[in-house]
Amino acid sequence: MDEQQLLLLIANIYDASLDLSRWPAVLEKTCQFVHGVASVWTSQDCKHKSAELHFSWGDDPEYARSYRDTYVKINPLLLPMMRRSEPGAVIAHSELIPFEQFLMSRFYKEWTKPQGYLDAISATLDKSTTGFAALTVARHERDGVVDAEMRRRMELLAPHFCRAAAIGKVIEKQKVESAMLSDTLDGLAAAMFLVDTDARIVHANASGYALLADGGVVKSRLGRLAGPDCGFDRTLRDVCVAADAGDAAVGTKGMAMPLIARDGERWVAHALALTSGGRRQAGIFYSAVAAVFVCKVSLDLPFPLETIGDLFGLTPAELRVLTAIVDIGGVPDVAPVLGISERTVKTHLQRIFEKTGTNRQAGLVKLVAGFLNPLGVHSHS
pLDDT for 305 beyond 70: no
Phi first, then psi: what are they for 258, rounded to 5°?
-75, 150
Rounded distance, CA 248 to CA 245, Å? Answer: 8
pLDDT tops 90 at residue 64: yes
Q: Indicate whether 204 pLDDT > 80.
A: yes
CB atoms < 10 A from the CB of 21, how many?
Answer: 9
pLDDT tens, 134-170? 999 999 999 999 999 999 999 999 999 999 998 888 7
- 26 has a pLDDT exceeding 80: yes
Over pLDDT 90: what percentage of the chain? Answer: 51
More confident residue, 130 or 292: 292
What residues contact residue 150 under an 8 Å CB cut-off, 6+ apart? Answer: 34, 35, 36, 121, 137, 139
Separation of alpha carbons 282 and 249, rounded Å: 19
Domains and CATH numbers, the chain: 3-171 (3.30.450.40), 178-296 (3.30.450), 302-369 (1.10.10.10)
CB atoms near residue 113 (< 10 Å): 13
pLDDT at 128 over 50: yes
What are the helix and strand counts (H, E) for the chain? 17, 12
| DSSP state letters, 94-142 | GGTS-HHHHHTSHHIIIIIGGGTEEEEEEEEEEE-SSEEEEEEEEEEGG
pTM above 0.85, yes or no: no
Residue 289 confidence (pLDDT): 93
Q: What pLDDT was estimated at residue 374?
A: 39
Among left, alpha and beta (phi > 0; psi -120 to 50; other), residue 9 is: alpha
